Amino acid sequence: MTHKRLPLLLLIMFISVSCKQELTNTKLNGPIFGTFYDVTYASNNNENYQKSLDSIFAVINQSMSNYQSDSDIAKVNRHELDRVDAHFVEVFKTAKIIYNETNGVFDPTIGKLVNAWNFGSELNKTKLDSLKIDSLMQFVGFEKIVLKDNTLYKTDPKPYIDFNAIAKGYAVDVVAAFLDSKNSTDYLVNIGGELRTKGININKQSEWTVGIENPNFDGSQSYDKVFELKDKSMATSGTYRKFKLDANGNRYAHIINTKTGYPSKTNILSVSVIADECMLADGYATAFQAMGVESVQEFLTQHPELQAYLIFENEDKNFESLALNNFPVK
């Protein structure tokens, strides 16, 4: 009896080993959030999660898209809604942490100024002057909004909320959590350059290769650094594509200074941040863009959990780079 069953056991073992050997990457991609997504994950049965990804993106858009007039955040900003969903709550809580840690440099209530400078979801045709900017600054201040039991409480005048600087990173985390729920051990989630990795690239049998773009003002694409990223998230914020020039040729970033209401004048062209969660990396990359090189260096001495790579212009208008907290570039 034992001899008769042995071949069957060997066959089962062979099939099990064969299935493991057949593990290969599945890739899904397309447009989302005004940019693109590219999700690669290992599977041995070619599992296609496209419908699930579409559902995730639709729910996040419905919750936090300022470009969607019937979204929850659009209704909040029109004062038609106070009770928000779990996604909104998660982003709000993390945004509040970054707001507090950066002393308000990162502030999602800067939305009215973002739109006024035509960097946001609403087109402004009114010429800005100091009086107009001062009048809009009264709406700024994340401390003016309190979240309790999924309900928002605002002071008057009621601030306008914009999570665009953190929502893409959050979406990356949600997709990663979905893949984790499917017991996926190897994946790369990329939404508009915001990344989260786990395990290895099965097809190449190596860690995931990622890159940091050169700050090319002509719109071309090349990479300053290429390296491997494992079990971490990375987000990059750059000013070399969205900026304004004044009469003297000074360049101002699309990131609004939350203390003045004016676009940030900065020599930082690109900031890449590595963290455990992509939402954190996304938010801090935006904040660091507005803080300046020395302030970022000082901040990171108190935050060893974050790594950063800065590309900036020196006084001679030459590019320099700076890796902080052992950012993995060579």
Q: What is the pLDDT of residue 250?
A: 53
pTM of the model: 0.86
- Percentage above 90 pLDDT, the chain: 65
Decide: helix, strand or coil at residue 222.
Answer: coil
- Residues 6+ positions from 271 with CB-CB distance below 8 Å: 236, 237, 238, 285, 288, 289, 296, 308, 309, 310, 311
Tens digit of each residue's pLDDT (9 = 90 or more) over 136-191: 999 999 999 999 999 999 998 889 999 999 999 999 999 999 999 999 999 999 99
Q: What is the pLDDT of residue 156?
A: 87
Q: What is the pLDDT of residue 12?
A: 47
C-beta of residue 228 within 8 angstroms of C-beta of residue 328: yes
What is the mean pLDDT of the segment spanning 28-42?
Answer: 96
Lowest-confidence segment of 122-131, 192-201, 293-302 by average pLDDT = 122-131
Tens digit of each residue's pLDDT (9 = 90 or more) over 2-24: 455 545 544 444 444 444 457 89
Lowest-confidence segment of 178-187, 214-223, 278-287, 316-325 by average pLDDT = 214-223
- 198: β partners: 187
Q: How far apart are CA 8 and CA 11, in angstroms?
A: 5
- Percentage above 70 pLDDT, the chain: 84
What is the mean pLDDT of the segment spanning 85-99?
Answer: 98
- 90: β partners: none
C-beta of residue 300 within 8 angstroms of C-beta of residue 288: no
Q: For the range 131-135, what are the long-range contacts, defined as Cβ-Cβ under 8 Å and sequence gap of 24 or more?
A: 133/260, 133/261, 133/262, 134/261
218 CB neighbour count, 10 Å cutoff: 5
Assign 262 a pLDDT band (cuts: 50, 70, 90). Answer: confident
Over 90: is that where the pLDDT of 230 sits?
yes
More confident call, 131 vs 98: 98
Q: What is the pLDDT of residue 22?
A: 79
Over 90: is that where the pLDDT of 245 sits?
no
Q: What is the pLDDT of residue 123?
A: 67
Domains and CATH numbers, the chain: 23-66+164-206 (no CATH), 72-162 (1.10.3980.10), 234-330 (3.10.520.10)
Assign 257 a pLDDT band (cuts: 50, 70, 90). Answer: confident
What is each CA distance from 80 to 19, 70, 73, 83, 182, in whole angstroms?
Answer: 53, 11, 10, 10, 37
